[in-house]
Amino acid sequence: MDRAFADRLNEIEPFRVVEVLTRAKELEAEGRDIVHLEAGEPDFSTARPIIEEAQASLNRGETYYSQAAGIPALREAISRHYQQDYGLDIPASRIMVTPGASGALLLISALLINPSDSMLMADPGYPCNRHFLRLVEGQGQLIPVGPEERFQLNAAKARQHWQSNTAGVLVASPANPTGEILTRDELTDLRDLCEEKNGHLIVDEIYHGLTYGEDAPSVLSITDKAYVINSFSKYFGMTGWRLGWLVAPEAAVPELEKLAQNLFISMSTMSQFAALKAFEPETRALLDERRDEFARRRDYLLPELRRLGFDIPNTPAGALYLYAGISKFSNDSQQFCMDMLEKHGVAITPGADFGRHRANEYVRFAYTTSMDRLKEAVRRLEKVLS
């Protein structure tokens, strides 16, 4: 039996950062000291009350499948979160718990995409999105965006690229890899465009809560027709627990439940009980302290990188990243990242991980390590780049 793998595999690319990580691990095994600025996850481990609740739920015997849409208590808790943090009335019946934002992206792709449909999305952007679409025989239509529009796909650009097979627009705010947010006006314009074209609007709000100085507006405050993706991974610091959620228009929920029953049966029950503690005031206070630490790191790293010659014209308001132009140093970001790692022990991610548009001119710095280590990274970069 040597039947070939499916054609779609040719269009699903690996994360290049994995190459950086693998090499970083090898170097560390040889005794080298590496500063890690490549990981897209908070370096803080999950808050204690969440861990304790997971243990308690296991001790109670909560070891079975849950409802496909999530345990009712968690859907209710997320609904209250929208009330408390956003002043929005989002009933639990519109909320589905998912296996991470990744699970939400898969469900929404399966729900909305027919073969050969496309979704407009920003390039650079989160790479897995177009792969989810490919999995359901659709495609990501990558729209080049640059510093002029703060690396976000706006309605004017989306209109320009809208085609007969375009099913809608998928944006993230704050975005990966740029940390840029969409303003209320920009979201409103996208909503208007999608309504006019009878398309879908999907907003990935996974980095909500990780904004510094200004809030990222939720599209849910503008329309109840959009699909919103969120997660316990980033602000809530639960990457390894594989838990997220989506908010959908009421009519879509039974269809999403049907998909979830088939694709996952349920999320981790332990993780869902644990996540109930994520919204408790005691936990939130801790998470907000961590957010403030991310803000301090951004405020340190951004001017330092600019001083060294990296091009970062706007100050990104959120997420965990700085997307930096390297044209002063190199026109090959993959090689640049490998050199920084091999010769100077600083691990960063090449732009090619996030799309094709001018990808060779950019790298992503993730400030997911301590201030001391950030300072060490700057010292090392300064030695070679100045």
Ligand X SMILES: Cc1ncc(COP(=O)(O)O)c(C=O)c1O
Question: Which residues bind to ligand X, rule: CB under 6 A?
Answer: 40, 100-102, 126, 172, 176, 204, 206, 231, 233, 239, 244
CB of residue 222 to ligand X, shortest distance in Å: 20
Q: For residues 108 and 253, which CB has a smaller minimum distance to ligand X in the complex?
A: 108
Distance separating alpha carbons of residues 378 and 381, to the nearest angstrom: 5
- Residue 112 CA to residue 166 CA, distance in Å, equals 11
List for the chain the helix, strand, coil content (%; round to 5): 50, 15, 35
What lies within 8 Å, CB to CB, of 279 at 6+ separation is 77, 80, 81
Task: List helix spans (H) across the chain.
Answer: 17-29, 48-59, 72-81, 100-112, 128-135, 155-161, 184-197, 253-263, 269-275, 281-308, 333-344, 371-385
For ligand X, the closer of residues 176 and 272 by Cβ is: 176
Integer angstrom CA distances of residue 41 from 232, 294, 316: 11, 12, 17
Question: Shortest distance, CB of residue 39 to ligand X, whole angstroms?
Answer: 10
Provide, rounded to whole angstroms, the least separation between the CB of residue 175 and ligand X: 7
Three state DSSP letters for 262-331: HHCCCCCHHHHHHHHHHHCHHHHHHHHHHHHHHHHHHHHHHHHHHHHCCECCCCCCECCEEEEECCCCCC
For the bound state, the minimum distance from the C-beta of residue 230 to ligand X, rounded and expressed in Å, comes to 8
**Closer by beta carbon to ligand X, 172 or else 381:** 172
φ, ψ (nearest 5 deg) of residue 366 = -105, 120
CB 136, min distance to ligand X, A: 17
Spatial distance between the Cα atoms of 227 and 192, rounded to a whole number of angstroms: 15
- Give the Cα separation of 118 and 142 in Å (integer): 10
Nearest-CA neighbor of 105 among 262, 239, 229, 272? 229
Question: Which residue, 71 or 175, is less far from ligand X as judged by CB?
Answer: 175
CB-nearer residue toward ligand X: 79 or 231:
231
Nearer to ligand X, 290 or 381 (CB): 290
- Smallest gap from Cβ 134 to ligand X, in A, equals 16
CB of 339 vs ligand X, minimal distance in Å: 25
Q: Of 102 and 314, which CB lies nearer to ligand X in the complex structure?
A: 102
> CB-wise, 172 or 340, nearer to ligand X?
172
Q: Give me the residue whose beta carbon is nearest to ligand X.
A: 100
Separation CA 328–CA 307 (nearest Å) = 12
Smallest separation (angstroms) from ligand X to the CB of 178: 10
Strand order of the sheet with strand 321-325?
A: 321-325, 362-366, 349-350
Instruction: Determine the 3-state secondary structure of 118 from DSSP.
Output: strand
Compare residues 187 and 378 and give the one whose CB is closer to ligand X: 187
In whole angstroms, the minimum distance from the beta carbon of 171 to ligand X comes to 10
| Interatomic CA distance for residues 21 and 26, integer angstroms | 9
